[in-house]
Amino acid sequence: MFFGYSAVLSVQKDGEVWLTEKVSSKQIMDLIIQQGTSFQPGEMIAYSNSAYYPLTKILEEKYRMPFQKIVSEEVIKPRRLKNLTSFKPDKKNVFLPYRYNDNPWSPLEKDLDFLNVIGVGDIAATSYDLNIFVNSLFHKNILKKETLPLMETVIGKEVLGRGIAVWDFDGTIFYGHGGDTLGSHAVLIYNKEADISIAYNTNGERIKKEDFIKNIVNLLYHKEVRLPELK
């Protein structure tokens, strides 16, 4: 249910993002249970951030180690990634999240407390390391070759897969994922036919990440590029 996005859980409380202050794991799980599902498994498909939270707990129980350690042992060390990490409580020199408001760039008063979103939105990386990761994934160096297709979107039948979505740029198909915190934004996509990957991440945003990536793809494939409006 969780991994297939076939039932949705909400990450908001009374319509507001509520994870900017540290809360207990029990409080998060209690709210997930209290809010229930938006529809029943198999009825439709939609993206669910909060579904990753219990999935992370399942992983930690299976591996008998914290999520940060799992990421380190299974992803970072085998690929020698120097600039990809899961959040640790003792992190130093963390950049503040920024937003553009009527001319000046200004830091957000609050961002997510990342201890609340371990396994959901806590991984930070450079675009270089993201590209190494996604190439390793699609070259089947992380998962078994039988497993990767189970994650992919079935084109024509689904909008989202099980962790990997389709990005269709006028018939040029990339597979990947995009995400946001309250201040940061990222996209990571891969094209099988050309063996091309594109990673983009930014702190603060004036051009929507989807528009930015579309122009990058258009440049690569010699298509028209339209400069997006700055907001």
How many residues does the structure list for the chain?
231
Tens place of pLDDT for every residue, the chain, 231 residues? 344 443 344 545 554 556 788 888 888 888 888 877 777 777 776 777 777 888 899 999 999 999 999 999 999 999 999 999 888 877 777 788 888 887 788 988 887 888 888 888 888 899 999 999 999 999 988 888 888 888 877 777 766 667 788 899 999 999 998 888 888 899 999 999 999 999 999 998 888 899 999 999 999 999 988 887 777
- With 0-12 / 13-18 / 19 or more C-beta atoms within 10 angstroms meaning exposed / middle / buried, residue 202 is middle
Sign of the dihedral through C-alpha 16, 113, 165, 45: negative
The answer to whether 173 and 138 are in contact (CB under 8 A) is: no
Torsion-angle region of residue 192: left (phi > 0), alpha (psi -120 to 50) or beta? Answer: alpha
Architecture of domain 12-220: 3-Layer(aba) Sandwich (3.40)
Can you give the pTM of this predicted structure?
A: 0.84
Give residue limits of the domains in the chain.
12-220
